Amino acid sequence: MFAVVDVVVVGAGIAGLSCARALAAGGARVRVVERGRVPGGRLASKRYDGRYADIGAAYLVADDPDFTAQVTSWESRGLARPWTDTFRVYPGGAETAGPMRWAAPGGLRSLAADLTDGLDVRLSAPLDAVPGDADVVVLAMPGPQALRLAPPPAIVAAATAQIWQSVITAVLTYPSHEWGELHGAFVNDHPTLATVCDDGDRRGDGAPVLVAHSTAALAARHLEDPETAGPILAGAVGELLGLRAEPEARVHRWTYARSEPTDAPYAVDGRVWLCGDAFGRPRVQTAWLSGRAVARALLGDG
């Protein structure tokens, strides 16, 4: 165990909040600084027409014992629920079994909000440099965003090595539910469409809402004007599922959505650390484990 220190965690996504909670539990003085108005990062939900739709991560998968314990805690308090272990795969539309995917009745961002309980979290607080008023700084964010804060050399090297792809999400609200039973679908070898999820099924309220994620190729073409991708994604989903109705489409741009995986759990240079879902397979669990690994190393448990 190390002597209690002041730690600033920059970023209130799942990695930063996991790190902050573990550090606080170990006796460190921690504050979390987040440039956005709400916590969660890509564990994101947005309110449309009186309900939340998940616009970032599509679900959780838990196969690590420690993260499984966290998910079980959420389940016991009604914050998370097992959703499905079956997705369709296109072309063809065959149903394929896989790991259990977990969802959140209140939207996945509600899980991040739960992790903020008891923490000093400061929202709408953008930074232009690594904070100098703490013993330790943890940058819990994609590498390209960390580079904007002028971090030390080893962090620059790790951040520069990350390879990210962009995604545009379209929330498609239909007049009625006309696509039969569908949990979600992976769409392979498609020029514009990568995944589709039934958000009403995922959330458990039956709303006629589909959420589509674009391919990186489509996102790259429409990143500067993401609204123009909405009709394209709506058309692709309609063609895929044989839908006649025209939905209302709302879009969200994720400039740094998915990273090529790396082997290390984090990067460090002196008092500055970098963590997130780039340090492993691009999953929510990876981000949670990366933040926790930083905390455990600082606490002498890693």
Give residue-wise pLDDT tens across range 44-67.
999 998 999 999 999 999 999 999
What's the rounded Cα separation, in Å, for the pair 101 and 103?
Answer: 7
pLDDT at 119 over 70: yes
pLDDT at 3 over 70: no
C-alpha distances in Å from residue 295, one per residue of 8, 140, 152, 179: 12, 12, 19, 45
Domain boundaries 6-57+110-162+263-299, corresponding CATH code: 3.50.50.60
275 CB-near residues (< 8 Å, 6+ apart):
15, 16, 19, 138, 139, 140, 265, 266, 267, 287, 290, 291, 293, 294
What's the rounded Cα separation, in Å, for the pair 181 and 296?
Answer: 43
- Confidence grade of residue 265 (pLDDT, cut at 50, 70, 90): very high
Say what the pLDDT of residue 301 is: 75
Say what the pLDDT of residue 5 is: 83
- Pair 56, 14: CB distance under 8 Å: no
Q: How many helices (H) and strands (E) does the chain have?
A: 9, 15
Cα radius of gyration rounded to whole Å, the chain: 19
Within the chain, which residue ranges are assigned CATH 3.50.50.60? 6-57+110-162+263-299
Between residues 263 and 166, the one the model is more confident about? 166
Say what the pLDDT of residue 200 is: 96
What's the rounded Cα separation, in Å, for the pair 219 and 194?
Answer: 11
- Pair 22, 16: CB distance under 8 Å: no
Mean pLDDT value of segment 274-293: 96
Give residue-wise pLDDT tens across range 193-223.
999 999 999 999 999 999 999 999 999 999 9
Q: Which amino acid is at 154?
A: A
Q: Which amino acid is at 141?
A: M
pLDDT at 234 over 70: yes
7 beta partners: 30, 136
Domain boundaries 165-258, corresponding CATH code: 3.90.660.10
- Confidence grade of residue 262 (pLDDT, cut at 50, 70, 90): confident
pTM of the model: 0.95
Say what the pLDDT of residue 1 is: 44
- Confidence grade of residue 84 (pLDDT, cut at 50, 70, 90): very high
Using the structure block, give the residue that is written with the tokens 């006796």.
27
Mean pLDDT value of segment 264-285: 95
Within the chain, which residue ranges are assigned CATH 3.90.660.10? 165-258
